[in-house]
Amino acid sequence: MKSLSIRGVTYKLHQYGEGEPVVLLHGFMGSHQTWHTLYENKGYKWYAFDLLGHGKSSAPLHFARYDCSAQVEDLYACMQSEGLSSFHLIGYSMGGRLALAFACRYPHMIRTLTLESASPGLLSREAREQRSFVDEGRAHQIETEGCAAFVADWEQLPLFQSQQTLPLSVRQRIRLERMSHTDGGLAGSLRGFSTGRQPSFWGKLNTLAFPIHLVTGGEDKKFVQIARKMKRIMPNCIHIVIPNVGHAPHVEAPIKFSNAVTTFLYERGTES
């Protein structure tokens, strides 16, 4: 594990393997640990971050520090610190939103982009305001009731119902990862990097020329539809649906997800 002092905060970076660089951005309440199946694939050097407010990285007190544009600049500074001028980028859910924001800001640095269950944001101001209101309520719950109560409610969201069929050992590992963060870090991330506060990137999708890989779970109907809409706009994009899993294919079908990612990197990674 490496500590990177970036723009007044500290990011924890975990590196595995040797080869072409691949940067990994986890989802909300995740960490570098969520990608453990990928690390077994040879020929790549995996750069897995604990994002702001998560894992062992800093958890700033003011939610404005978690803003999308601020985290994009953090990631850029991290890449500069590591001497990476170009790399493959993979992001899941919240991390997918950050990956897309980074790719729109620094497209010349992206060899390929893989987005798992990710959205370009909400189009209307009303939808963004409603989502910000919901995430403010979630942040307040964390601060008043604690992380354990919040995680218990979070696990009951329809988005994660498919995970109830996973083996007990897997569900316990997921819960431990979700519980490993500070209350302040999670609340700050919800407030500052809510989908409601993120700019919409729908208008920039047609400008992204590098190879793009969209991955969704077949049971996650909402994000399957979002990915289909994105694919119609993006000029160099493929979309795969992993059947019988929900919002987190890398957790629910890790081998299928790993094979899909490495196949894409092998077949399309030389195009950029």
Summarize pLDDT for 231-261 with one digit per residue, the tens. Answer: 999 999 999 999 999 999 999 999 999 999 9
One-letter identity of residue 19: G
Task: Decide: residue 146, CB within 10 A, 0-12 exposed, 13-18 middle, 19+ buried.
Answer: exposed
Range of the domain at 33: 2-268
Strands 9-16 and 2-6: antiparallel
Q: What is the CATH number of the domain that holds 225?
A: 3.40.50.1820
The whole-number pLDDT of residue 271 equals 61
Residue ranges, the chain, pLDDT below 50: none
User: Residue 159 has what pLDDT?
Assistant: 87
Q: What is the pLDDT of residue 257?
A: 98
Give the Cβ contact number of residue 85 at 10 Å. 10
Q: What is the pLDDT of residue 268?
A: 82
Strands (E), 42-181: 43-50, 87-92, 110-116
Tally the domains of the chain.
1
